[in-house]
Amino acid sequence: MLRLAGARLLGDRDYPAVRAVLEADPVASCMVSARVEVAGLDPWRLGGELWAADYRGSRSGRLPGLCFSGPNLIPLRGNATALRSFADRALRKQRTCSSLVGPADQVLGLWDELSGEWGPAREVRDDQPLMAMEAQPEVKPDPLVRAVRLDELERYLPAAIAMFIEEVGADPRAGDGGSSYRARVAELISGNRAFARFENGEVVFKAEIGALSRGVGQIQGVWVHPDRRGRGLGAAGTAAVVSHLVNGMGRTASLYVNSFNAPALAAYRRIGFRQVGRYATVLF
């Protein structure tokens, strides 16, 4: 089979072409847009690399394929040929990303190319509805959900760890004792992007705005204390975060969820979310 020499590393001169791809689907590209808008395309500032699948296309202002390689590998656009070129470049060095995530067709196509070298995966989540809304939530927001203060980090952190273990199936404290995860949670709190409802000093609901671009905020880490589930706290709490994004920040609220999580899907639809695409995640 004829294979490409590999995808090209993009730099700041390619910014207009990259922006065109990101703006074509702002919800699906939120995770990458949030980085590019702050850091540009320089790998050191970006915390990763952006790859183009076709050099000639990028020079003419069009990118038929685009992929971010950093803590996660995020293919945003590309046909089978483009995905092979991304795989070629990814396989030149040892895997360092913790997951493949993004639009399902690109993620699953890229995984087909990589699985022989990088597999087996710990888990493949091949159907994750990508949802968004721009209006006031249809569920009354919980007035007790608020931004977490930095001096509440130690009270918030156990809930964040519990959520991560439930959602990802791994303990974020493994390896370094949790110092890097703690730092990430503290960063979210410092940026007023972690929200919780506290009762008697304990978190009973939490959610975060993980990625925040100029037009979209991606909600992540929605969690309700096991003793309080089934009482509507998740829907009302998420509605409070949606209201903050839509009314307070002028952003589209988005999230993605596993298709098998029927209670979460039903709650998000009650709030007013609609499906706008499909994500997939490959966990290592």
Q: Which two tokens stand for residue 213?
A: 């671009």
Question: Which parts of 70-193 are beta strand (E)?
Answer: 72-77, 99-103, 123-133, 146-147
Cα–Cα dist 135/114, whole Å? 40
Cα separations in angstroms, 223 against 22, 28, 84, 262: 29, 23, 37, 15
Q: Which two tokens stand for residue 23?
A: 């703006």
User: What was the pLDDT predicted at 59?
Assistant: 52
| Lowest model confidence (mean pLDDT) among 99-103, 227-231, 237-241 | 227-231
Amino acid at 193: R
| Lowest model confidence (mean pLDDT) among 72-81, 166-175, 215-224, 269-278 | 166-175
Mean pLDDT along residues 95-105: 96
| Lowest model confidence (mean pLDDT) among 58-72, 154-168, 226-240, 265-279 | 58-72
Mean pLDDT along residues 212-217: 98
Mean pLDDT along residues 224-239: 96
Helix (H) or strand (E) holding 136: none
Q: What's the CA dihedral at 80, 86, 87, 91 to 10 degrees?
A: 170
User: What was the pLDDT predicted at 56?
Assistant: 55
Helix (H) or strand (E) holding 222: strand 216-224
Summarised one tens digit per residue, pLDDT across range 4-40 is 456 899 999 999 999 999 999 999 999 999 999 999 9
32: Cα separation from own chain's centroid? 9
Cβ–Cβ < 8 Å for 68, 39: no
Summarised one tens digit per residue, pLDDT across range 113-154 is 999 999 999 999 999 999 999 999 999 999 999 999 999 999
Summarised one tens digit per residue, pLDDT across range 247-270 is 999 999 999 999 999 999 999 999
User: What was the pLDDT predicted at 175?
Assistant: 86
Contacts of 217 (CB under 8 A, 6+ apart): 30, 209, 211, 245, 249, 251, 252, 253, 254
